[in-house]
Structure 1
Amino acid sequence: MTDVAKKCQYFQVQDYKDSLKQKAEHLIIKGFPEKIVKLNELLETPNFQNRAFADVHQDLNIPVPPPVGAAAEPNSKRARVDSDLSPVSVDGTKVYALPNGSVPCNKPLSDLIHLVKPHIRELVEDSNLLKMWISFMIPKIEDGNNFGVSIQEDTLAEIQSVESEAAAFFDQISRYFISRAKIVSKVAKYPHIDDYRRAVRELDEKEYLSLWLVMCEIRNRYCSLHDIVIKNLEKIKKPRSSNAESLY
């Protein structure tokens, strides 16, 4: 690689760093307050405020079939097991037939998840941007005058924690659908057992509460990140004083 190509790459990387720093500072000073206000307004909408648990209940579209033997002739003999335990053929209920078609996802919760997921993604992306911003401003390792550097490292650790927590919200949503599918399959297999049907309703209520909590946590994380960065902005941008820098 020629010297010209190396210099070109250096300037491209430097332009990327400068652009990232500008985006991060704009995000902290202007973007975060706007997001906090927007999330507060969203949490006051009917989607999250004053909504009863019954509003997120949905019929499973799995009818309760007639019990085994209900359609049998009155004078028909009951099947019994012989003393030698020979197999006996007994007509039973088809449990996976689903005569009314497929079992849909819970529409109120699906709509709510569709609303929440973009905010989770934004928090992950914004946290990643701040993480790189602070990483670029950490000075080279030197002896002494590292108080500002320790502030940078503590702030960076907090941002990384928020990023990991936000990414875990996606896993929480996917686990809800997996859990619901397992319980619905139990309803299809044992349609006469009301406890399985009740378990689906309880799971839906739990997910609704979890989605509300996720939105509150996203709002709270934006508030905490904005607070910690603004309070320490001077030390984050200039971790070492100019007097100390002149000594090296």
Structure 2
Amino acid sequence: LSSIRACKQVEEAKECLYRFLPQKIIYLNQLLQEDSLNVADLTSLQAPLDIPIPKKEVPTCGFLPGNEKVLSLLALVKPEIWTLKEKGILVITWIQHLIAKIEDGNDFGVAIQEKVLERVNAVKTKVEAFRITISKYFSERGDAVAKASKDTPVMDYQALAAYGELRAMVLDLRALYAELYHIINSNLEKTVNPKGEEKPSMY
């Protein structure tokens, strides 16, 4: 059973390296060319602050909708963040299974495996930081609107990220996919066959 799981994982890792990563880099490059991520007049991104003012006898305010332009970009970016994180975990698990036992002599390949693993983990850490950035944007915009009307349930508290930061995230995602591909592809031989055996145990 463990052998079947290992083989499946190898196939998933190979598909990720040779098909998924290159396609994702191309997709993100195309996404960066779209009008929604190339707005010259940033004032056009402002959301109207139409805070309903209640009458004295009706203290409850209505809901203030979020910035639709920012939310539509979030709908594009957030899945990409999750996907890259998942692929990073897949690659990390795959390399961990490939790491050979360090013995006397011929351990250079193992050292390369560990270095590749370290760099892939660094990519995963960067991706996780994007989620914090998005949450921070929601909080900051929510605080700003709440100051204007403390009684208004601010819907942007549940979804946020500045336009400039979102575009930067897409640029970073593309760069991280390229880095992931370069790291693995440049060290592929030592990663899958660290000891230089005639028949690698996994690949």
Number of aligned residue pairs: 191
Deviations 1:103-125 (A, max 9, x none): 11111101110110010001000
Deviation at 1:30, TM superposition (A): 1.4
Q: 1:29 maps to which residue?
A: 18
Choose which of 75, 85, 104 in structure 1 pairs with 2:65. Answer: 104
Give 1:218-237 correspondences, 5 Å limit: 218-237=173-192
> TM-score scaled by structure 1?
0.71
CA displacement at 1:164 relative to structure 2 = 1.5
Residue equivalent to 2:147 = 186
1:174 and 2:167 aligned: no
In 2, distance between residues paired with 1:98 and 1:39?
A: 44
Verify the 8 A CA contact 2:77 2:166 in the aligned structure 1.
yes
Q: Cα distance, 1:63 vs. partner?
A: 6.3
Query: Given the superposition, is the C-alpha separation of residues 31 and 108 from structure 1 closer, same or farther in structure 2, using an over 3 Å criterion?
Result: same
CA deviations over 1:89-116 (Å, ceiling 9, x no partner): xxxx97x9576x3211111101110110
Percent of counterpart pairs with the same letter? 33
Deviation at 1:42, TM superposition (A): 0.5
Task: Check if 1:150 corresponds to 2:111.
Answer: yes
Deviation at 1:45, TM superposition (A): 0.5
**Runs of 5+ consecutive residues of structure 1 not aligned to the other structure:** 1-11, 66-92, 190-199
Structure 1 distance, partners of 2:83, 2:23, is 13
Q: Deviations over 1:132-161 (max 9, x none)?
A: 111110012211211111111111011111
Q: Is contact 2:32-2:170 (8 Å) kept?
A: yes
Larger Rg: 1
Residues 145 and 240 of structure 1 are in contact (CA less than 8 Å); yes or no, is this contact kept in structure 2?
A: yes
The amino acid across from 1:162 in the alignment is: V
> Which consecutive segments of 4 or more residues in structure 1 shift more than 6 A?
none
**Pairing of 1:76-95 with structure 2 (within 5 A):** none
1:114 aligns with 2:69: no
TM-score by length of 2: 0.85
Q: Quick one: distance in 2 between partners of 1:174 and 1:224?
A: 25
- Show the 5 A alignment for 1:126-137: 126-137=87-98
Correspondent of 2:126 among 165, 190, 193? 165
Partners of 1:34 and 1:242 in 2: CA distance: 32
